[in-house]
Amino acid sequence: MAAAGGVRALLRLEGAVVLGAALAAYAQFGAGWGVFALWLLVPDLSLLGYLAGPRTGAALYNAAHSYVGPVLLLALGVLAAMPWAVAGSLIWLAHIGVDRALGYGLKYAAGFAATHLGRIGRADPW
């Protein structure tokens, strides 16, 4: 079941806040905006999983678009003093934040358009 109404709006706002926080932190601790631009869309390579079908596609997309990975990478970067990991995690978080703010949620195996934030794309006219 997809989020609707106020819950959907709150989840999208949450994505915008994550985006803002990641951008602010990247401005302080990042590796330059060229690096940011170069790596920003890398999580979308997970969309290639849809070539193997919707179940595989959804699993790979969700793995790359969950907050778990970038938060773990951020913790590693901070605890092990690895600036590249901090920068990478902030770019990854910014990517997820912008996706969520725009309404692109985690995917269900029913197909790319079925997300936890509601259906994306145009409704089927038939």
Q: Using one digit for the tens of pLDDT, what is the confidence trace for 86-125?
A: 999 999 999 999 999 999 999 999 998 999 998 987 655 4
pLDDT at position 123 is: 58
Alpha helices in 2-82 (DSSP H): 5-29, 33-39, 54-64, 68-79
* pLDDT at residue 38 greater than cutoff 80: yes
pTM of the model: 0.92
Residue 80: phi, psi to the nearest 5?
-100, 10
Q: How many residues does the chain have?
A: 126
Q: Over the range 50-72, which residues count as b (16 or more CB within 10 Å of their CB) and which as e?
A: beeebeebbbbbbebbeeebbee
